[in-house]
Amino acid sequence: MAEPYYLTTAIHYPNGRPHIGHAYETIAADVLARFQRLRGREVRFQTGTDEHGLKMAQKARELGRTPRDLADEMSGYFRELFDKLNISYDRFIRTTEQDHHRASQAIWRAMEANGDLYLDRYEGWYSVRDEAYYDESELIEGEGGEKLSPQGTPVEWTVEESWFFRLSKYQEPLLELYHDNPEFIRPETRRNEVLRFVEGGLRDLSVSRTSFDWGVKVPGAEDHVMYVWVDALTNYLTGVGYPDDGDPLRKFWPADLHLIGKDIVRFHTVYWPAFLMSAGMPVPKAVFAHGFLLNRGQKESKSLGNTTDPGELADRFGVDPLRYFLLREFSFGQDGSWSPEAIVSRNNAELANSFGNLAQRVLSFIAKNCGGTFTATAPVLDVDSALQAKVRQACADELPVAFEKLAFAAGLEAWMQAVFACNAYIDEQAPWALRKTDRARMERVLATLCECIRNLAVAVSPVTPRASERILDALCVPADRRDFAALQGNERADTVRVDSPAPVFPRLELPAEAST
């Protein structure tokens, strides 16, 4: 039986169109989902939109629309984008869906039954943009002397009747959780931040609002809606059928990984496990916080006029080159700065000139000079087995080990080194010269290369699924030889068959205006 693997992204606020940060996170999660499937795991992969809360209500009011209408339109753009980016989600959840309201009310009742919810008055500094209250001590000063949240967003002194969650009760259990599971929060810097925060003491958390009604109603107190983060975090349980104690919940909970950005670590590693402990549910196995993407070193914003539509980037550069760039260029967990020039140069150097060129040179040579098929009979030389061993080590060992740790750039670096080794081998062995002098040796060289290309295409397929599929189709690789299990061992395929190879990674050019 395949081992289950439940993976989620954050759910995105559909108060505007998706930006490159949304694409980055979801592509990384998709790579991981595809990777785990190729490792033989039974994967459930969820993404979606976080549609409640004051931020949505205010944006809709500003536009003279209902929040539902705004959510319907914007959520549609997220879904369209993820389909374009070839995101293999099993569920795209919307928090306005019926089963999500049911799950949120169920977790609320479970926390209440455990004595962890009580009614009180709340006063504090509230940031609508972050949907969070802050302590006076956490605030920073803006340029005009005004108070701002630690994220630099405006805060307002707010007083309201509110339900509270006894977060303070969970300080010790949380510290124990972090202590017993050092991998629960990654990377290490984020873990240290959370440890410091929780060690500093936890205050009870305001978890309902009466000032607006766009949210999940509090059961038994219908003039309150839940604080948006209570319902948002619960999406991870909704997706596996909670509160029904059936197959998906039993099989996939606790989640293996919540993949999120660095700005929402506290919600996922403090509030969420505390809610779950209170509701008597197991906590997720791991939370990984990736870094932020900057546009030529700057945060994208409407006022700077540097916002990017990730769908347009995909149209301009291709889906697979964009996916490859995002995982190859930046160390996952750290911030990164992107530019069109960097996408083009990464694509041209590594995908077009190195891997694409290798595959195209070898496959079209076989199509032209061997009628598309042959069986190699000449002996395997040491150079052949050395190359094959190097490629196999990169594809079946180094890349998977790195990807398991979410060290995508390091895994792709090992893969790239194997591509370089193949290109060096092809130059040295010069099969085009052997065509006239030693056809049997030429066939052995080509068979060795085809096996290497199969390994390389399979290993990179979580990142470049369409291109890999086209290469594997051209190599006539059967469906059951396209996963990591099929890269084990020392087998060789002596019989090679190639069918209509075509270049899969074109060289990209920068339009004149972008290169100046």
Binding residues for ligand ME8, rule: CB under 6 A, are 10-13, 21-22, 24-25, 50, 232-233, 235, 260-261, 263-264, 292-293
Q: What is the rounded CA–CA span in Å between residue 11 and residue 93?
A: 8
The distance between the two most distant Cα atoms of the chain, rounded to a whole number of Å, is: 89
Element (H, E) at 49: strand 42-49
In 50-155, DSSP assigns E strands to 91-94, 117-127, 132-134, 140-141, 147-148
Cβ of residue 38: shortest distance to ligand ME8, in angstroms? 25
Least Cβ distance, residue 132 to ligand ME8 (angstroms): 10
Distance of closest approach, residue 293 Cβ to ligand ME8, in angstroms: 4
Report the SS3 class of residue 436.
helix
| Contact between 399 and 411 (Cβ < 8 Å) | yes
Smaller CB distance to ligand ME8: residue 269 or 388? 269
Q: Which is nearer to ligand ME8, 48 or 241 (by Cβ)?
A: 48
CB of 306 to ligand ME8, least distance (A): 12
**Minimum CB–partner distance for residue 226 and ligand ME8 (Å):** 13
> Which runs of E-coded beta strand occur in 257-415?
257-261, 287-290, 293-295, 336-338, 373-375
Cα–Cα distance list, 191 to 9, 132, 278, 501 (Å): 19, 21, 22, 48
Q: Which is nearer to ligand ME8, 131 or 451 (CB)?
A: 131
User: Rounded to 5 degrees, what are φ and ψ at 228?
Assistant: -55, -30
Give whichever of 117 and 293 is closer to ligand ME8, judged by the CB atom.
293
Coil, strand or helix: which one is 149?
coil
Residue with Cβ nearer ligand ME8 (75 or 461): 75
Q: Number of helices (H) and strands (E), helices first, in the chain?
A: 21, 19
Starting from the edge strand earliest in sequence, which strands make up the sheet with 208-209, in order?
208-209, 221-226, 217-218
Separation between Cα atoms, residue 461 and residue 454, nearest integer Å: 10
CB nearer ligand ME8, residue 11 or residue 255: 11
Shortest spacing between CB 308 and ligand ME8, in angstroms: 10
Say if residue 246 is exposed, middle or buried (CB neighbours under 10 Å; 0-12, 13-18, 19+).
exposed
CA-CA-CA-CA dihedral for 438, 440, 443, 444, to nearest 10:
-110
Looking at the Cβ atoms of 154 and 261, the one nearer to ligand ME8 is: 261
Task: Give the nearer residue to ligand ME8 in terms of CB position, either 20 or 363.
Answer: 20
293 vs 474 by CB, closer to ligand ME8 = 293
Least spacing, CB of residue 29 vs ligand ME8, in Å: 10
Query: Which tokens is 261 given?
Result: 């950005």
Sign, CA torsion 457/462/467/468 = positive
Euclidean distance between CA atoms 228 and 319, whole angstroms: 33
| Nearest-approach distance from CB 234 to ligand ME8, in angstroms | 8
Nearer to ligand ME8, 50 or 398 (CB): 50
> To the nearest whole angstrom, how small is the minimum distance from the Cβ of residue 100 to ligand ME8?
11
- Region at 291 (left for phi over 0; alpha for psi -120 to 50; beta for the rest): beta
Nearest Cα residue to 356 out of 515, 244, 474: 474
Whose CB is nearest to ligand ME8? 261
Least distance between ligand ME8 and beta carbon 453 (Å): 33
What is the closest distance, in whole angstroms, from the C-beta atom of residue 21 to ligand ME8 in the complex? 2
Shorter beta-carbon distance to ligand ME8: residue 13 or 408: 13
